[in-house]
Structure formats: structure tokens, C-alpha cells
């Protein structure tokens, strides 16, 4: 069975949480007889499809990026061709151009949509986009979201509960075995008593400014791994607060990032807005058996991290509560160890890549076996959308 994934960004150009999820999904479905490919945009697209692990990546030319929406004229032709070759088309929401691609192609193939996040920041543009969005979501054969928390709190998904299934994101732990021993020894020597760790892109919804406020007048070390659009502002804030215990270590290769996940005492994840729909690095912390600190924002973060069991959950944007949680886990090693063990057990029972791959493969097989007429009915009354309407 051939499955085509569609999203605005992907490896090797971009390494965010959705990209990581698509990668894990492509690889996890292969043992179930699924051949996966990805269509994405790139500023410098490769002339030929790329091979990443066990799946292909097709790149179309990115023309412009407006309001976090990649636009491309070239991608229409690419999508029409690749969708005709696929048995299933798997969309990754949100990306408004994707809706236009779907209705323009009229491919008649079963369609799965992973609903990764509500549109949170562009509220004015959402009002303009809403009719097309609901037309698109209504046309999907199956919608999947990653946590019951998100399904329960999304006003958009409430309309589509009848065809929405929860399948948690999963990670393959064997892909994290490449720990760099010299770098692990370096960090353990540098911080022999351990440290708090944040891993992720420095975006507006990650709540790192709250973490910095929480670190004021504390002594325990905090390492921040990653880069992003908020980095300069956050560094200035750290200088103004005179935070000698906060260390910006920049983006790191996987082997060194994994070494830090192994060496840290607590994974801290202060995201404070619903744009953080799940939190892959939070899941990485659970996989490494680390206690976690996160905020209650009604999304998958609190599906990974259960307050009082796998870590501590605090109110969003509350630096004092975050500071208190950090002090609690820093001072109580026994509690911290117990919560880390519970986090690892929860990962093993709910969040493995194998479990995710099997669940999606079951959906693919079911939809591929549905009568062709019922799959095409939704298009009979739809007007095609042309590239000119973009």
C-alpha cells in the first residue's frame, strides 16, 4: 500500500515536532506493508526525490511564506501526479494551501487528516479561512488527533467527533541510542549534580520567557537546547535578570542532544499556549525516564505528563508556580526518580512508534478496502479550485 503525506515543511529543511511525527509514522508503518512518501515545499528543491531512511521525499518550489503559510504554484502539478499514484493521501493540518490542493486535484483517493493543532495566532485570517477549512475537514474520510485532551478542548474538532480517532504520537526508542559518550561525560563533569533541560525551537508559544522569570534567584542549572525566532529576545531577558545558572547551548546534533536527555534530572516544558498541541520533546523526556514539568493548556502535554504521577503540571504563564515545581523536584530526589520511572512506563504503554504505526496502518487498510463509489461521492458536487484562486 502506498501512502502520500502532505505538509508544508519536512526534513532535511525543517526538524520540528510535526516533521518528527511524520518521519516516525513513515518508518513505523513500513513493517505493516505501507510504502510512504512525503510531498513538501523547499526554497531549494532537489531535482530528484530524496531518500530519508525508508521513505521518499518530494520537494516543490516554495514561492513565498505568508502568515506561516508556505505558498507554491509548482506544488499543484506535483500533488496531482503523486496523489494519483497513491492508495491513501494523508494530510497534516494546518496548512491552508493543502485544502486548495485537495479540491483542485480531485484525486478520489481515501483521505486521512492528522489534526496537529488549532489555528491559534492568526485569528483574523482564520475568519476568512474558516469556510474553506470546514469544507476541507468535512471532505476527509478520517481525522486523527494525538490526545483525548485535544479532542475534548478543540471547538473545531467538536464538529467532527463522529469521524475523529485518537492515536498518540509515538517514538522509536532505538533511534535515540546514538549517545555521544565523550559529550555525555563532558556534561556530567560540567554539572555533576544534574540540571533541568529544555529542548525545542524558541517560538512564541514555548513559554521560555516564563522559564527565565522562574529561574530568577535560583541556583540550579538550566540548559536550553535549540534556536529560533525568540532567541535574541530571550538572551537579552536572561542578561537583564543576571541569570548565571541558565545556559543557552544552541542547536545540537542528535547524539549530543540524546546525551543531555540521558544526563538531565528533569525535563522542563513551559509552553503556555494551545499552539503547543502535544510536545515531542516532552515525550522524549518520558522515553528517557525523566520527570517532567509542564503547563495545563488543554492539549496533549497533559496527556503525556500526568500531574503527581509522571511529573508536575502548573498553571500556564505562572512563573512562581513553575519555580515552585522546579524547586520541589530538585530537592526531592526520591520523588523525582519515582516520577521518572512512571514516565518511562507511560511511554512504553502509550507512545511507542510501533503502536502508532499499527494504529494508522489499520486505518489505511480499512479505508483502502472501502467501495470506490463512496469515496468519490464527496467530489461529485464540489467545484474544482484552480491555481488562480490561490
**For 92-101, what is each residue's pLDDT tens digit?**
999 999 999 9
What is the three-class DSSP state of 125? helix
Q: List strand residue ranges (DSSP E) for the chain, in order.
A: 2-6, 35-42, 50-52, 55-61, 64-66, 69-71, 88-93, 111-115, 142-145, 164-166, 196-199, 222-225, 246-250, 266-269, 292-295, 311-314
Place of cell 463509489: 373
Structure confidence at residue 24 (pLDDT): 97
Q: 97, 71 in Cβ contact below 8 A? A: yes
Q: Which helix (H) or strand (E) holds 192?
A: none
Beta-bridge partner residues of 145: 166
Residue 278: phi and psi, rounded to 5, are -145, -70
Q: What is the pLDDT of residue 31?
A: 96
* Integer angstrom CA distances of residue 366 from 87, 111, 372: 12, 12, 12
Report domain 2-172+353-383's class: alpha beta
- Specify the pLDDT at position 380: 41
Domain boundaries, given as residue ranges, for the chain = 2-172+353-383, 174-350
- The CATH number that domain 174-350 falls under is 3.40.50.2000
Say if residue 379's pLDDT is above 60: no
pTM confidence score: 0.89
Residue 91 host element (H or E):
strand 88-93
- Taking CA atoms, 76 is separated from 163, 174, 267, 390, in Å, by 27, 37, 41, 11
pLDDT greater than 50 at residue 387: no
384: exposed, middle or buried (C-beta count within 10 Å: 0-12, 13-18, 19+)?
Answer: exposed
For 227-255, what is the mean pLDDT? 96
Cell of 289: 525516564
CA 369 to mean position of chain CA atoms: 29
Residues whose CB is less than 8 angstroms from the CB of residue 175 and which lie 6 or more positions away in sequence, other chains included: none
pLDDT in tens, 165-204: 999 999 999 999 999 999 999 999 999 999 999 999 999 9
Same fold, 2-172+353-383 and 174-350: yes
- Residue pLDDT, tens place only, 294-338: 999 999 999 999 999 999 999 999 999 999 999 999 999 999 999
Amino acid at each position: 500500500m502506498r501512502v502520500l503525506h502532505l505538509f508544508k515543511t519536512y526534513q532535511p529543511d525543517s526538524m520540528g515536532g510535526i516533521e518528527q511525527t511524520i518521519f516516525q509514522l513513515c518508518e513505523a508503518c513500513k513493517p505493516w506493508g505501507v510504502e510512504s512518501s512525503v510531498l513538501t515545499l523547499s526554497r531549494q528543491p532537489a531535482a530528484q526525490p530524496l531518500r530519508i531512511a525508508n521513505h521518499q521525499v518530494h520537494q516543490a518550489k516554495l514561492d513565498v511564506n505568508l502568515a506561516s503559510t508556505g505558498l507554491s504554484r509548482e506544488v499543484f502539478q506535483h500533488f496531482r501526479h503523486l496523489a494519483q499514484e497513491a492508495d491513501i493521501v494523508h494530510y497534516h493540518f494546518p496548512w491552508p494551501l493543502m485544502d486548495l490542493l485537495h479540491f483542485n486535484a480531485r484525486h478520489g483517493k481515501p483521505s486521512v487528516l492528522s489534526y496537529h493543532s488549532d489555528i491559534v495566532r492568526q485569528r483574523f485570517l482564520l475568519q476568512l479561512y474558516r469556510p474553506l477549512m470546514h469544507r476541507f475537514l468535512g471532505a476527509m474520510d478520517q481525522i486523527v488527533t494525538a490526545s483525548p485532551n485535544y479532542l475534548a478542548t478543540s471547538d473545531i474538532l467538536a464538529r467532527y467527533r463522529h469521524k475523529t480517532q485518537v492515536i498518540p504520537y509515538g517514538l522509536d526508542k532505538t533511534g535515540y541510542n546514538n549517545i555521544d559518550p565523550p559529550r555525555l561525560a563532558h556534561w556530567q563533569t560540567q554539572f555533576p549534580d544534574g540540571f533541568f533541560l529544555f529542548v525545542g525551537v524558541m517560538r512564541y508559544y514555548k513559554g521560555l520567557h516564563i522559564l527565565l522569570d522562574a529561574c530568577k534567584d535560583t541556583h540550579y542549572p538550566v540548559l536550553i537546547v535549540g534556536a529560533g525566532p525568540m532567541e535574541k529576545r530571550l538572551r537579552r531577558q536572561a542578561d537583564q535578570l543576571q541569570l548565571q545558572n541558565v545556559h543557552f547551548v544552541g542547536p545540537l546534533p542528535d547524539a549530543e542532544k540524546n546525551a543531555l536527555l540521558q544526563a538531565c534530572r528533569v525535563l522542563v516544558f513551559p509552553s503556555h499556549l494551545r499552539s503547543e498541541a502535544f510536545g515531542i520533546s516532552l515525550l522524549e523526556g518520558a522515553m528517557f525516564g525523566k520527570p517532567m514539568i509542564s503547563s495545563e493548556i488543554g492539549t496533549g502535554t497533559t496527556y503525556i505528563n500526568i500531574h503527581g504521577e509522571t511529573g508536575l503540571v502548573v498553571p500556564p504563564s505562572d512563573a512562581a508556580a513553575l519555580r515552585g515545581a522546579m524547586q520541589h523536584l530538585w530537592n526531592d530526589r526520591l520523588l523525582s526518580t519515582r516520577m521518572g520511572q512512571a514516565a518511562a512506563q507511560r511511554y512504553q504503554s502509550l507512545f511507542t512508534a510501533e503502536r502508532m504505526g499499527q494504529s494508522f496502518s489499520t486505518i489505511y487498510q480499512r479505508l483502502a478496502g472501502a467501495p470506490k463509489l463512496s469515496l468519490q461521492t464527496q467530489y461529485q458536487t464540489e467545484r474544482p479550485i484552480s491555481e488562480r484562486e490561490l
